[in-house]
Each structure stands twice: as C-alpha cells, then as structure tokens.
Amino acid sequence: MNKSIQWGITSGAHDASIAVIRGEDILFAAHAERSSRKKNDAYLNQTVFEQAMEYGTPRQVFWYENTAKKRLRQLWAGQYKTALWKSSPIEQMAAFDSKQNIFWAQNFGAGEAVWPAQRIKCMSHHHSHAAAGYYTSGFTDATVVVVDSIGEWETLTVWAAKGNSMHRVFSQRYPHSVGLWYSAMTQRIGLKPNEDEYILMGWAALGDPDKYYRKIMTDFVELDADKPNIRFRHNLHRGCLWWAPELNTIQDYADIAAATQRVYETLFEHILKHAVKLNRSDNVVLMGGCALNCVANPIAHRYYDRVWIMPNPGDAGSSVGCVAAYNQQHLNWTGPYLGYNIEGEYPINSVLKELDTTRMVGVANGRAEYGPRALGNRTLFADPRGADVQDLVNTVKKRQSFRPFAPVILEEHAQDYFDGCVGPYMQYTSVCKHPEKFPAITHIDGTSRVQTVNNEQHPQLYSLLRRWYESTGCPMLLNTSLNIKGEPMVDTAADAERWTRKYGVKVFTKDE
Ligand SMILES: [Fe+2]
C-alpha cells in the first residue's frame, strides 16, 4: 500500500478545499474559506497550504476534475470567457499538458517549494464524488448515486461498487441537470444560485406544493419510463428568470419553493427506483450537492437498508474523493473533524455554566468540521426549550425568521423526541414529537434536522450533553454554526476571540 503523502485539491469554481491523505488515513481536510475568511472562497490560500504542509511534503497531487474536458464543455456551452480565462490559481501559473491530461505547477507560491515540477493528476468530477462517498462508507458493496449541477459533462451518475472496485453503470450528460434546474429555481425566487439552495428547501415548508407542481413538471421535466434519465426542456445553466413572470408575490415564491422541492423529491425517487435495477445491493451511497437535500434524503431508506452520505457530499468533499478515486481503496473514516485544530480540553464546564446564565454559548475547540455543518467543534449552542430561544439566537445569527435551528441530541434519546430518520451529520429531517416544547428547533412543517451523538463519535460532546441532561432533564441542545450569514465559520482561536468581541457571545476555545 502506498504510504506516501498525497494531496487532493478542489479549486477554481466555488468552495475550494485541500485534503492530505497517507495510505488509508485522512490526515487533514479543510475548506479554504475558513482560513481566507471569504465565504465559499473558490481559491486556496497560503495559510491552508501551510496547514496541509505540516503533515509533510506531498509525493502526489490530485485535482478533482478533468480541466481539459471541462473547458471543452464550457466552449460547447458558449462560456468562452470562462473557458479561455485560466480560472484556478494553479492553472493560472501552470503549463498545461493536454496530451497527457496532466499539468504541473510552476512558480506557484508555496507550490514552487513544495513540488517543483510535480505533476498533478486530474480525476473525473463524478468519479471523485463517487469515490469520496464509497471509500468512506465502510460498505463492502454499494450502489453509488451522484446528483449535482455540472462538472465536466456528467450531471447524474450511478455506480456499482464492490470490494475495492467501482464502475459507472449510468451517466447523464449536460445540459440535462437536476442540480442546475434546482439552482435556476432558487434564482427564480430571488435567492442566490449555487449558494442559497438550502434556503429554498427551508422556504418550501411555507408554501403549497400542489399549486405549481404540475406546471413545473410540464414546463421543465421529461422523465424516461425505463431509465434514470431526467431530461429538461430548457438549458437551465443560465437560469429561468423568464419563467412564469406573473408569479411575483412572496406567497407565489413560497408556493414555487414548495413545488420545486416536491418535484425534486419526485426526480430523486425516479433516480433511486432505477438505480435499484441497475445494481444489486442493499446499500446506497448518495453524493453530489443534491445529497445535502435533507428533506428528500429519507426517501433513500425506502429503497435501501443502509444509506451513507459522506458529510461533505458537494464539490469540496472531492479533495478527499479525487485521491480515493486514484487509489481505489477504502479510507479509515473517523469522522468529519479533519480541519484546523484548536488545542485544549473541550469546554464542558464553561459551556454548562454559560448556558445557565445566558442560555447561549459558542465553542471553537478541536479540529474544524470538513463539510458545511457545524457538528460540535465550531458551534453556537443554546438551550432549546421555550418560545423565545429562536429570537435570542437570531439576535446574533440574523437568519430569516422562518428557518429553525437544528438540535443535537444524545443518540439514546433520539427516538423519544423524533420520529423518522436521524443520524450523526444532520443529513435528514424527521418529525419532532414535542414541537410545542421546542419551537426553536422545529420547522413550520413540524420537522427537525437532527444530529445524534454517541460516545464513540464525539466523547466530549457526548459528555457535555449527558451533563446537560442530568441537570435539566433535556437531552438536547440547539446547535447552529459559529458564523453569521455571509461569513465562514470561525476557524482559529483568534477568530473566536473576534467573534466574542463583535457579537457579545462568549466563545470558549478550552475549558476555563
Ligand atoms: Fe459536483
């Protein structure tokens, strides 16, 4: 087995990330935005390179997609500016070797010292997604379903995985893309495409899905009866602001959001129904940006006994995925705590004391989460009980008032409080059994996006919740990411200190 250091990189599009892998261990994986402090930063920076370098010099470097194929697609789609402008920092300073499908970094800041003339190998976009999922799943066989917007040409793929091998059994190509359609609808209701899709998903609960479901299906979608194919009647890459111009009130937008989400669920189910026929397995792995749709994800349990969604299923997770795709071997998945480390004891006593007095407290301790969710290490906790908590947390977070916060609960109590799918990474919504007691963590449709915790997964967070439960009788806390809209999550102790000063909420980096 190759035990040298390998790097995986995603950069140049949105939410750049880097992963350091040795053999089957993920030593480090982080988003560039956390160190540059620019939300969804598309480019890597010197700080994150230096953090990665602490694990040693890479012998091999992998890129998460095939840049030559992507350029061809961009040219085909008429995106001449994007295709001809060398958009990633490595590409900008690299000579491109199209014959061998590799390029090497030259004169590239840290890169020059790190890998002079080191060759970087490009993997395919969907292969990177699929590998990030399967090789972290712990499954010995699985069907892997990747649904996203667009990489090179592929927009939807299904893979058969067994042992260490994986092969594609279905592929759908641009411009037909479920992800591009969902983003176009996001833009249609006044939100930011490629960023605010989760807000559309939350907004959906406020609308009537039946009102425009048929219209959206008829105007946009063509389903193939015997294949997972989903074709769209329009190229949605440039949006659909032209669609249904008469619908422009806030209630129209809520109804469009509701119908969009319902249509997405129909399409997702269509894909799964056919995926079952394409490969025999009781296990499914869901990847691609669409696997962040926690409202639809429970549908997968209707078709498969076991479901794995790597907690960073979008493009940023492909920094792990492109290395895994090359190595074709399973990785040791120890959890999503893979980023920058803030040393010190987890602040259990300090958090409990602060919750007692102000009911809200931040934690920035241990390794930062690799993925979009704060799962206890870069988290703002609050007492979830009572009617005023949502407003209290929103004085800091300033989110849309219709969006609830998520709960983190002792695993052994989850079924007493929630009905349906729950898991350790906030990937599913389930029905809250006591919404009147916990309005801050319950959506208007009665659901919650639950994080469960056990002693193996995060012993310190588990211990904090046990002690909170012993003193209050409540086995959960409200858990939201330690950021405000438009800002990346806190990364370092210095960020935490700044946060405390700016927002007046105590953030503990260790127990005091
Ligand atoms: Fe993708």
Q: Rounded to the nearest whole angstrom, what is the distance from the C-alpha of residue 155 to the centroid of ligand 1?
A: 8
Q: Rounded to the nearest whole angstrom, what is the distance from the C-alpha of residue 140 to the centroid of ligand 1?
A: 24
Q: Rounded to the nearest whole angstrom, what is the distance from the C-alpha of residue 37 to the centroid of ligand 1?
A: 23
Containing H/E element for 25? strand 25-31
In 314-347, alpha helices (H): 318-327
| CA torsion angle 262 268 269 272 (round to 10) | -170
From the centroid of its chain, how far is CA 109? Answer: 29
Contacts (Cβ under 8 Å, ≥6 apart) of 314: 15, 148, 288, 289, 291, 292, 372
**Using CA atoms, how far apart are residues 6 and 60, in angstroms rounded to an integer?**
5
Does residue 328 sit in helix, strand or coil?
Answer: coil
Burial of 69 (0-12, 13-18, 19+ CB in 10 A): middle
Cβ pair 381, 414 in contact under 8 A: no
Cβ pair 188, 239 in contact under 8 A: yes
Does residue 172 sit in helix, strand or coil?
Answer: strand
Burial of 378 (0-12, 13-18, 19+ CB in 10 A): buried
Sign of CA dihedral 196, 202, 203, 207: positive
Cβ pair 315, 343 in contact under 8 A: no
**Using CA atoms, how far apart are residues 410 and 190, in angstroms rounded to an integer?**
38
Q: Rounded to the nearest whole angstrom, what is the distance from the C-alpha of residue 193 to the centroid of ligand 1?
A: 14
DSSP character for 403?
A: P
Q: Rounded to the nearest whole angstrom, what is the distance from the C-alpha of residue 493 to the centroid of ligand 1?
A: 32
Q: Rounded to the nearest whole angstrom, what is the distance from the C-alpha of residue 230 to the centroid of ligand 1?
A: 17
For the entire predicted model, the pTM comes to: 0.93
User: Taking CA 165 as the corner, what is the angle to CA 167 and CA 55, rounded to the nearest 5 degrees?
Assistant: 115
Q: Rounded to the nearest whole angstrom, what is the distance from the C-alpha of residue 128 to the centroid of ligand 1?
A: 9
Q: Rounded to the nearest whole angstrom, what is the distance from the C-alpha of residue 9 to the centroid of ligand 1?
A: 13
Count Cα atoms within 13 angstroms, Cβ side, for 113.
7
The per-residue DSSP string of 88-153 comes to: SHHHHTEEEETTTTEEEE-S-HHHHHH-TT-EEEEPPHHHHHHHHHHHHH--SEEEEEEE-S-SSS
Contacts (Cβ under 8 Å, ≥6 apart) of 260: 182, 185, 200, 204, 216
Q: Rounded to the nearest whole angstrom, what is the distance from the C-alpha of residue 287 to the centroid of ligand 1?
A: 9
The per-residue DSSP string of 225-246 comes to: TTSS-EEESS-GGG--TTS-TT
List average pLDDT for each run of 10 residues in the chain, which is 512 residues long: 85 88 98 94 84 87 84 76 55 38 36 47 94 98 96 94 97 95 97 93 96 97 88 92 95 97 97 96 97 97 98 97 97 98 97 96 98 97 94 87 92 97 96 96 95 98 98 97 90 95 94 91
Q: What number of other Cβ atoms are within 10 A of residue 40's Cβ?
A: 18
Q: Rounded to the nearest whole angstrom, what is the distance from the C-alpha of residue 179 to the centroid of ligand 1?
A: 9
The per-residue DSSP string of 421-483 comes to: --BTTS--EEEES-TTT-GGG--TTSEEE-EEE-TTT-HHHHHHHHHHHHHHS--EEEEEESS
For the beta sheet containing 283-287, the strands, ordered from the edge strand earlier in sequence to the opposite edge, are 165-173, 154-162, 141-147, 283-287, 306-308
Q: Rounded to the nearest whole angstrom, what is the distance from the C-alpha of residue 130 to the centroid of ligand 1?
A: 10
Q: Rounded to the nearest whole angstrom, what is the distance from the C-alpha of residue 20 to the centroid of ligand 1?
A: 20
Q: Rounded to the nearest whole angstrom, what is the distance from the C-alpha of residue 194 to the centroid of ligand 1?
A: 11
